[in-house]
Amino acid sequence: MPSQRFRLAIIAFITTVVFAGVGSTFATSPGSDSSKLQPNTPIINSMDELTEYVYSDSVANNPIANLSHEAQARFLAGITFSDDGVSGLYITDLVRELPASQLYELLSLFGLENAVAQIHGVRVETALDKAIVEGQVGLLSDGSRDWFKEGYKCDGPGSCVADSAYLCTINC
């Protein structure tokens, strides 16, 4: 079940979209090329930050804890990072074990929450899950979703190779 903080963030986001007619969750980073869209600042940008997060965050607030122990181990072993953040991750267990809202919450740790709408086979259990899967939550400001590839694994800088169990990001 999503945390209270996550539910409040989603409600605030939907309220912004409905009442303001906007709602991009993407922005440019300070000092970056303004033409390159990037997700909101992720909490986790490196393996060191991931390790610190896993060992320091309370289990009640840790979206990774929604996975079975075996799936947690595979997820943590299958995630890769580049200098720009997550470059690829193992998603098979995520899709099998988590509904869209929990997957959204987990991927938001890495700034990848918008990928949920494009991942095939994501489970829908609630109205929020449906909104996420239909792309009504977390759209890119220009409407594109070309910053990741499902079915590919990061195999080194700039090299995504076919592997149906993974997701390769623009950071590869």
pLDDT tens, position by position, 63-112: 998 999 999 999 999 999 999 899 999 999 999 999 999 999 999 899 88
Percent of the chain at pLDDT > 70 equals 65
Report which listed range, 24-28, 34-38, 104-108, is most confident. 104-108
Q: Is the pLDDT of residue 6 over 60?
A: no
DSSP label at residue 163 = E
pLDDT band, residue 32 (cuts 50/70/90): very low
Q: Give the mean pLDDT of the chain.
A: 73
Q: For residue 129, what are the CA distances in angstroms to 22, 69, 100?
A: 20, 23, 5
Contacts of 52-61 spanning 24+ positions with Cβ under 8 A? 53/109, 60/3, 61/3, 61/5
Q: Is the pLDDT of residue 18 over 60?
A: no
Domain-wise residue ranges, the chain = 4-169
